[in-house]
């Protein structure tokens, strides 16, 4: 299937779905964390698909597109940090964290693959 928009990128769809899962999860956090930990976690999770989408608009410049992909990769790591904090604060079970961190590991690997191979795809 040809890639016509960022919606056609598997990594975008995965990142978007993961961000929705994180958003749903953070609704269960205590009120005291809604403007701190939960907000940071949602922001980082939403940053991943947002940077893919924004970078797509700049895809004709390989360097610029790859820069946005690098920011998205960094946001994946930030999400995993905040997930660890959520687990250690006792807000989320280890099983939930492991599942979400696994998703972000896969998204990070997909982003790296796209970053590494972009020129071969963009013809």
Q: How far apart are CA 50 and CA 32, in angstroms?
A: 27
For residue range 77-90, list pLDDT tens digits in order. Answer: 999 999 999 999 99
Annotated domain spans of the chain: 6-121
pLDDT tens per residue, range 45-92:
999 999 999 999 999 999 999 999 999 999 999 999 999 999 999 999
Looking up tokens 């997930």 gives 83
Q: Which SS3 state, helix, strand or coil, does residue 77 take?
A: helix
Taking each helix axis from N to C end, the angle separating 37-56 and 94-121, rounded to the nearest 10 degrees, works out to 20
Question: Has residue 119 got a pLDDT over 80?
Answer: no
Distance, in Å, from the CA atom of 78 to the CA atom of 8, rounded to the nearest integer, reads 25
Domain 6-121, what architecture? Up-down Bundle (1.20)
Residues in Cβ contact with 31 at an 8 Å cutoff, skipping those fewer than 6 apart: none
């Amino acid at each position: 299937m040809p890639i016509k928009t960022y919606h056609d990128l598997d990594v975008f769809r995965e990142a978007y779905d993961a961000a929705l899962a994180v958003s749903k999860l953070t609704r269960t956090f205590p009120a005291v964390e809604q403007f701190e930990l939960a907000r940071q976690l949602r922001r980082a999770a939403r940053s991943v698909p947002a940077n893919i989408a924004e970078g797509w608009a700049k895809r004709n410049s390989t360097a610029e597109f790859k820069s946005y992909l690098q920011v998205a990769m960094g946001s994946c790591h930030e999400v995993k940090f905040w997930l660890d904090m959520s687990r250690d604060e006792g807000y989320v079970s280890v099983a939930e964290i492991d599942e979400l961190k696994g998703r972000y590991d896969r998204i990070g690997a997909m982003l790296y693959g796209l970053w590494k191979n972009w020129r071969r795809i963009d013809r």
